[in-house]
Amino acid sequence: MKRTFIAISLSTEIKEKISKFEKDFQKIAGFKGRLISPEKIHLTLKFLGPTLEEKIPQIISELMVVESKTSPFQIEVKGVGAFPNLYHPNVLWVDIPIIPEQLERLQQFIEVKVETYGFAKDHRKFKPHLTISRIKTGKLLKPEIDFFNENKDLDFGVMTVTGFTFLESILRPEGAEYLSLGEFKFNSLNNE
């Protein structure tokens, strides 16, 4: 059994801006919690969870269909926030404030394709975001909340999404390790 998910990797420019934000959050606001390395931050399209190894080739085959019917598109990365909120946070994130139609279609197409193999469809509304930290205590200090509020509209830039990756997540005490099970690149000639 492998713990798997499907995600979009970030551009180098977006990773660099997230890295600067994380360093400032630690230096200016004094955040002492664990931040996710920008190299590991991604936009999750579908978390599959425990996956039987014999299903992996079938899932890859379905994801190839998705790949063949999707064209590159752009996303804006702007703003920061927390789930459920800054006063009782479980997750700190960087926002994708506008969901392009192509991103929503891609996520829904993947949902339908993997549902065939027993992965339940997520009935929550898709809220694309980039997780930068998980907060175990459920609270932030006032300087940390103030820093997030001051940066709530921070512009991280625009990136072109050219594909997605099927990943295995191996949980370790120092943080998750991600191994690629398949890379899927969009063809700019694909019809949407």
Which residues are identified as catalytic?
42, 129
Neighbours of 112 (CB within 10 A): 11
Neighbours of 124 (CB within 10 A): 5
C-alpha to C-alpha distances, 149 to 34, 80, 123, 128, nearest whole angstrom: 20, 8, 30, 20
Rg for the chain, CA atoms, rounded:
17
Taken as a whole, the chain contains a residue count of 192
Token pair 């949980």: residue: 171
Which residues are paired to 43 by β-bridges?
A: 8
C-alpha to C-alpha distances, 118 to 4, 62, 67, 125, 127, nearest whole angstrom: 14, 13, 21, 20, 23
- Identify the CA nearest to 69 among candidates 165, 166, 189: 189
Q: How far is CA 52 from the centre of its chain?
A: 23
